[in-house]
Amino acid sequence: MTDAREELRLRIRDEHPPLAAAAVIRGGPDSLALLQAHARRLNRLYKLDDAPVFGVSVFVVRDDLGPASERSILAAKLRSYPTVYRTTVGRLVAHGFDVLPTFTVPHFTVLIQSLDAVAELASAFGKRLINPYADGRGERL
C-alpha cells in the first residue's frame, strides 16, 4: 500500500542551527487536545525519512530586524494571537525535542515522539505572555 504522505525532509531548510538561546515563539492559548490535533495534522500530511512524524509549528527568532525578528513575528505572523508562548531552542532541546527549520523562514517544526509528549511540550513552552503587537491590543487593555 502506498503512503500518501509527503516527505518532510524535503521541506527542511539547509541552514545553521539556531543558537540555544534563540527565542521560540508560538501563538496561543493551546490546550493539550489542541496540540495533539495540530500534531496529528502534520502526521497526516507528512512523514520524516519514511517514518511517521508528529510535530508542532513554531517561529524562531533569528535576527534583530526583518521578518525573522521577534517584533516581526509577533506583529505579523502572530498578530491574531493576543497571547503567545515564548521559550528557547535550548529549553526545548533540554526537554528532549528536536527543532527543525521547516518551510520558510522563520517557521520551525518541533518534533514530538508521540501524541503523549504534548504535556512535556506544553511544560517546555511555559506560561503564556501578552502579545504586545496583537490586533486589537488596545481594546483588550
Q: Which residues pair with 58 in a beta bridge?
A: 108
For another protein, give the closer residue by CB, 49 or 104.
104
For another protein, give the closer residue by CB, 93 or 133.
133
Nearest distance from residue 25's CB to another protein, in Å? Answer: 9
The CA R_g of the chain, rounded to the nearest whole Å, is 15
Nearest distance from residue 116's CB to another protein, in Å? Answer: 19
For another protein, give the closer residue by CB, 4 or 65.
4
The DSSP 8-state label assigned to residue 17 in this structure reads P
Nearest distance from residue 109's CB to another protein, in Å? Answer: 9
Buried b (16+ CB within 10 A) or exposed e, 38-48: bbeebbeebbb
Could you tell me the three cell numbers for 45?
A: 500530511
The enclosing H or E element of 60 equals strand 54-60
Interface positions with another protein (CB under 8 A): 2, 4-6, 11, 26-31, 34, 37-38, 41-42, 44-45, 56-59, 77-81, 103-104, 107, 135-136, 139
Answer yes or no: are the C-beta atoms of 123 and 129 closer than 8 Å.
Answer: no
Nearest distance from residue 29's CB to another protein, in Å? Answer: 5
The enclosing H or E element of 67 equals none
Answer yes or no: are the C-beta atoms of 68 and 22 closer than 8 Å.
Answer: no
Nearest distance from residue 34's CB to another protein, in Å? Answer: 6
For another protein, give the closer residue by CB, 6 or 116.
6
For another protein, give the closer residue by CB, 93 or 103.
103
